[in-house]
Amino acid sequence: MTTAVQSSMSPATAALFADYVVPNYTRYPVSLERGEGSWVWDDQGQKYLDFFPGWGCNLLGHCPPRVVEAVQKQVATLIHVPNTWHTEVQGRWAKLLSERAFPGAKAFFCNSGAEANEAAIKLIRLHTPESRYKIITFTGGFHGRTMGAVTATAQPKYHEGIGPLVAGFEYAPFGDLAAVEALIDDHTAGFLVEPIQGEGGVRLAPEGFLQGLRDLADRHGLVLAFDEVQAGCGRTGHWFAFQHFGVTPDVMTLAKSLCGGVAGGAMLVKSELAPSLRPGMHAATFGGNPLAAAAGIATIETIEEVGLLQRAGELETLFRERLEPQVEELPIAAEFRACGVMIGLELLTPGAPIVQACMERGLLINCTQNTVIRLLPPLTLTDEELHAGCDILIDALRNHTPS
């Protein structure tokens, strides 16, 4: 596994992207062709161990059999109908999510995390009096790239050149309850927060912070919304990250792992808030479509039948045993953070060269916030695959010479 991978993409594919695709992504010169489990292959036949599959969407690995079977069956039966009609498969999916979330939870379906957060922003404002419109979000958070969601994202780098932003958002330091309380006034409607910041560097909410937000919301009549787009749906070892903290939100947004790699998003809300999103106030044409619903159901069933919530804890332990000692052993490693298979290794030097070195050795990982190596491996990862990937990562770290 430590043999250098020599890979170059097909010139024909490179030409297609150069001529016809907007260059808004920084792409590696690799064209992936197929995937299975924890592995992907490029169009040159090179094989990679994927510790960041689908940007965290492929919680069950690539092409999980039960999801593939469910989608194949559904695509031959009913692909899409608008939400002016009912489908049993959407209703059943909503029931399964509700039963695993909080009592009486009702679902609004969409197609992505950004869409789910846009729905949450609207719902927060619709549920509170019109004079209450301000939403408090948190530094280091990430909520998407549509205009409402990116305004909610308290990271200036995502705001450059796209102003004016959406009015009515205020930012507080993540974990600072005193700063939050100082921002609350007669115009405040609610909070939007990630229990575990993903793009922000795999940072868990400090002890007592989420409960403090819950108490402030209850005291002031505010809506508490949790963004679990990256942390939710089993990645942390519970169905949802809020269950680690023992704090129940009024609203929760989901996507990424929700459908086993198929595009899908959802907002779950307490039953008393659901009527605020009245007919005509919000919609998603493809939201809850039969393909996404079938994939979502198959994902839930796979996680439960295979025991993957327990597996998340086992994998965290193994990753911790391999990577946490590197903080003491390597001068460039600063801190290890993990919750289930949501893993961050903070470095004292930029992480991009480590990502490149790992890719050249056949391991796909990510760097966020410039210095945090982020891993979002599948729950189906085997012990052997975990150790092989950690060997590559540790080797890359040990052989890195900071510039």
Closest CA to 51 of 322, 348, 350, 295: 322
Q: What is d(CA 219, CA 123) in angstroms, rounded to the nearest whole number?
A: 19
> The tokens 């999801």 sit on which residue?
67
Tell whether 262 is in a known binding site.
Answer: no
Tell whether 227 is in a known binding site.
Answer: yes
Tell whether 108 is in a known binding site.
Answer: no
261 three-class SS:
coil
Residue pair 165/147 in contact (Cβ under 8 Å)? The answer is yes
Tell whether 142 is in a known binding site.
Answer: yes
Q: Which residues contact 380 (CB under 8 A, 6 or more apart)?
A: 37, 38, 60, 61, 64, 306, 308, 311
Strands (DSSP E) along 264-392, which ranges? Answer: 265-269, 333-339, 342-347, 363-364, 366-368, 372-375
Tell whether 226 is in a known binding site.
Answer: no
Tell whether 145 is in a known binding site.
Answer: yes
Q: What is d(CA 395, CA 196) in angstroms, rounded to the nearest whole number?
A: 28
- DSSP secondary structure letters along 359-371: HHTTEE-EEETTT
Q: Which two tokens stand for residue 161?
A: 């050149």
> Vertex 146, ends 140 and 148: CA angle to 5°?
70
Q: Which residues contact 49 (CB under 8 A, 6 or more apart)?
A: 1, 38, 39, 362, 363, 364, 385, 388, 389, 392
Q: What is d(CA 43, CA 5) in angstroms, rounded to the nearest whole number?
A: 13
Q: Which two tokens stand for residue 4?
A: 């250098």
Phi/psi for 90 (5° steps) reads -70, -45
Residues paired with 366 in a beta bridge? 374
Tell whether 285 is in a known binding site.
Answer: yes
**Eight-state DSSP code of residue 154:** B
Residue pair 295/79 in contact (Cβ under 8 Å)? The answer is no
Tell whether 185 is in a known binding site.
Answer: no
Q: What is d(CA 108, CA 224) in angstroms, rounded to the nearest whole number?
A: 17
Residue type (1 letter), 149: A
**Ramachandran region, residue 394 (left: φ > 0; alpha: ψ -120 to 50; beta: rest):** alpha
Calculate helix-pair angle for 290-306, 308-323, nearest 10 degrees. 70
Tell whether 230 is in a known binding site.
Answer: yes
Q: What is d(CA 153, CA 162) in angstroms, rounded to the nearest whole number?
A: 13
- Detail the residues annotated as belonging to a binding site: 113-114, 142, 145, 227-230, 285
- Detail the residues annotated as belonging to a binding site for N(2)-acetyl-L-ornithine: 145
- Detail the residues annotated as belonging to a binding site for pyridoxal 5'-phosphate: 113-114, 142, 227-230, 285
